[in-house]
């Protein structure tokens, strides 16, 4: 996800909390991906992680209050850093620093730099549950989020460093990185607020017996990216996913409503049940085309496997959704393609009655099933063909939403 931040200038502010150690991974990942990173530590933060550690990880000097004013500086440091930054991350955000931000106070290098800057600010709170739930802290939190510059990631729930189990845990590094990437793309626009987006993702598995099934290599990464981008842009998200590993499940946004399914029949039933509540429906799942006519309970011996295996056609879920959706709903399909993408995708667009389709080349390196990267082509009923440039799947998800939201802003080739 950090690939979308390669050219970004990111200022990371660290206040005094034990979660500061997690920010080491964030800074290191950004620097390795090619981002230009600068770090500011408050005096309290230095008690947890040294400026030398962050300077090494960022490949640039880290700043403390000792650097605030210097006779060798042509201009004040907080002004230079504020004007330099594209995005400002504050992690961990403590109750103390939150209170200062909410009331416009500047008594150290970090808070003065925030006041002098105009770029989007991503806040990653971290504190004890009782501290987080204090009415005064919640008032400050709501007050700062009312300012359009400030955006939140977390806090999450779990076991805290104080051994308390509850809300107050700083967001994990991968969650912070994806939020930064989205913020770089959108500059904080909440242009999906008020929309309910229903997304399917991953593979389906059609069981022959207890241990054998017909499936495909889809992991669900693209659908999770679509869910993540939609959440970052303010949408309510429902995600219906096939079997996926626990690591991927952990990357699904906490605010997304999730339903796990296995077979195409289960996916069909779930999507139809949730169809009428959604504004947009995105069928990113790789659904099986065929299934065994009979599923056996228990395991068949190899010698007892039917040869040939009797198969039947699976319902075309996208076409069924299209036939049952309202005129004011938008249905987007995906087409995993090899070779020519345009003609097959156009055929599916028209045959299934979709509003738009994303053609995805699965026969090219770093694209399609299982890859962290992706690219493709967005086609719609208005005759547009919009290239989706190679990048992270999160980047591609944002490009898809851009195309859906702003059709007049895109140059296109008529089909």
User: pLDDT tens digit string along 322-351?
Assistant: 999 999 999 999 988 788 888 889 999 999
Residue 232 — pLDDT band, cuts 50, 70, 90?
Answer: very high
* Residue that the structure tokens 């950090």 belong to: 2
* Residue that the structure tokens 């979660």 belong to: 19
Residue 324 included in any domain: yes
**Is 24 one of the catalytic residues?**
no
* Residue that the structure tokens 């640039």 belong to: 60
Report CA 398 to chain centroid distance, whole Å.
Answer: 9
Would you state the pLDDT for residue 347? 92
- Domain with residue 121: its CATH number is 3.40.50.1950
**Residues contacting 132, CB < 8 A, separation 6+:** 95, 125, 138, 155, 166, 167, 168
Could you tell me the pTM of the whole model?
0.89
Q: Is the pLDDT of residue 412 over 50?
A: no
Would you state the pLDDT for residue 414? 36
Would you state the pLDDT for residue 413? 37
Asked whether residue 116 falls in the same domain as residue 213, the answer is: no
Contact 11, 87 (CB under 8 A): yes
Asked whether residue 344 falls in the same domain as residue 400, the answer is: yes
Report CA 130 to chain centroid distance, whole Å.
Answer: 29
Q: Which structural domain, as residue segments, surrounds residue 279? A: 196-409
Report the largest interatomic distance among the alpha carbons of the chain, rounded to a whole angstrom: 85
Residue 191 included in any domain: no
Q: Is the pLDDT of residue 410 over 60?
A: no
Query: What distance in Å separates the CA atoms of residue 327 and residue 138, rounded to the nearest whole number?
Result: 41
Residue 4 — pLDDT band, cuts 50, 70, 90?
Answer: low
Asked whether residue 147 falls in the same domain as residue 226, the answer is: no
Q: Is the pLDDT of residue 86 over 70?
A: yes
What Cα–Cα distance (Å) separates residue 18 from each residue in 14, 130, 141, 294? 11, 16, 20, 56
Lowest-confidence range among 40-44, 100-104, 206-210, 329-333? 206-210
Contact 415, 383 (CB under 8 A): yes
Q: Which long-range contacts (CB under 8 A, 24 or more apart) does 277-280 make?
A: 277/196, 277/198, 277/238, 278/196, 278/197, 278/198, 278/238, 278/329, 279/195, 279/196, 279/197, 279/328, 279/329, 279/330, 280/195, 280/196, 280/197, 280/198, 280/329, 280/330, 280/331, 280/332, 280/404
Would you state the pLDDT for residue 280? 97
| Last residue of one domain, picked from the residues 186, 208, 224 | 186
Q: Is the pLDDT of residue 94 over 80?
A: yes
Would you state the pLDDT for residue 402? 95
Would you state the pLDDT for residue 167? 85
Residue 415 included in any domain: no
DSSP annotation of 203 reads B
Number of structural domains found in the chain = 2
Asked whether residue 182 falls in the same domain as residue 223, the answer is: no
Asked whether residue 175 falls in the same domain as residue 252, the answer is: no
Asked whether residue 379 falls in the same domain as residue 285, the answer is: yes
Token pair belonging to 365: 């390196």
Asked whether residue 163 falls in the same domain as residue 229, the answer is: no
Query: What distance in Å separates the CA atoms of residue 120 and residue 11, rounded to the nearest whole number?
Result: 11
Beta-strand pair 373-380/356-361: antiparallel
Contact 169, 156 (CB under 8 A): yes
- Selecting among 116, 145, 162, 319, the annotated active-site residue is 162
Average pLDDT over residues 206-222: 89
Calculate the average pLDDT of the chain: 90
| Last residue of one domain, picked from the residues 152, 186, 220 | 186
Residue 371 included in any domain: yes
Would you state the pLDDT for residue 2? 45
- Domain with residue 381: its CATH number is 3.40.50.10300
| Last residue of one domain, picked from the residues 186, 207, 226 | 186
Percent of the chain residues topping a pLDDT of 70? 95
Contact 271, 321 (CB under 8 A): yes
DSSP annotation of 304 reads G
Would you state the pLDDT for residue 1? 45
User: pLDDT tens digit string along 139-186?
Assistant: 999 999 999 899 999 888 888 787 788 888 899 999 999 999 999 999
Asked whether residue 225 falls in the same domain as residue 266, the answer is: yes
**Residues contacting 298, CB < 8 A, separation 6+:** 209, 210
| Burial readout 102-114 (b: 16 or more C-beta within 10 A, e: otherwise) | beeeeebbbbbbb
Residue 72 — pLDDT band, cuts 50, 70, 90?
Answer: low
Q: What are phi and psi of 76, to 5 degrees?
A: -55, 135
Asked whether residue 224 falls in the same domain as residue 153, the answer is: no
User: Which stretches of 270-350 are assigned E, i.e. beta strand?
Assistant: 280-283, 290-292, 311-313, 330-337
């Amino acid at each position: 996800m950090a690939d979308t931040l390669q050219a970004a200038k990111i200022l990371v502010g660290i206040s005094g909390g034990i979660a500061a150690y997690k920010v080491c991974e964030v800074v290191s990942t950004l620097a390795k991906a090619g981002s230009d990173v600068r770090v500011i530590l408050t005096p309290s933060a230095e008690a947890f992680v040294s400026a030398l550690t962050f300077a090494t990880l960022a490949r640039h000097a880290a700043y403390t209050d000792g650097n605030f004013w210097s006779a060798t500086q042509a201009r004040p440091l907080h002004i230079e850093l504020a004007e330099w930054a594209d995005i400002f991350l504050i992690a961990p955000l403590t109750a103390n620093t939150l209170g200062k931000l909410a009331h416009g106070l500047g008594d150290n290098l970090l808070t003065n730099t925030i006041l002098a800057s105009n770029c989007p600010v991503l806040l990653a709170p971290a504190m004890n549950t009782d501290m987080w739930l204090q009415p005064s802290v919640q008032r400050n939190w709501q007050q700062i989020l009312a300012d359009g510059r400030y955006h939140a990631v977390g806090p999450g729930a779990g076991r805290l460093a104080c051994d308390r189990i509850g809300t107050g845990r700083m967001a994990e590094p991968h969650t912070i990185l994806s939020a930064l990437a989205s913020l770089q793309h959108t500059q904080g626009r909440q242009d999906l607020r008020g929309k309910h987006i229903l997304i399917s993702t991953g593979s389906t598995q059609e069981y022959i017996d207890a241990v054998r099934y017909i499936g495909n290599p889809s992991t669900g990464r693209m659908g999770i990216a679509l869910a993540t981008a939609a959440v970052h842009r303010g949408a309510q998200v429902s995600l219906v996913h096939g079997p996926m590993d626990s690591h991927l499940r952990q990357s699904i946004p906490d605010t997304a409503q999730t339903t796990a399914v296995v077979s195409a029949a289960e996916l069909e039933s779930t999507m139809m049940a949730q169809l009428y509540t959604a504004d947009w429906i995105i069928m990113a799942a790789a659904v099986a085309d065929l299934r065994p006519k009979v599923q056996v309970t228990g395991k068949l011996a190899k010698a007892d496997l039917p040869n040939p295996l009797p198969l039947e056609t699976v319902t075309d879920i996208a076409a069924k959704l299209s036939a049952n959706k309202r005129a004011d709903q938008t249905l987007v399909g995906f087409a995993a393609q090899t070779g020519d993408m345009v003609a097959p995708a156009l055929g599916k667009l028209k045959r299934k009655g979709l509003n738009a389709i994303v053609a995805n080349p699965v026969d090219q390196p770093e694209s399609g099933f299982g890859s962290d990267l992706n690219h493709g082509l967005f086609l719609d009923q208005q005759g547009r063909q919009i290239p989706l440039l190679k990048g992270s799947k999160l980047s591609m998800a944002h490009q898809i939403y851009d195309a859906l939201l702003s059709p007049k802003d895109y140059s296109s080739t008529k089909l």
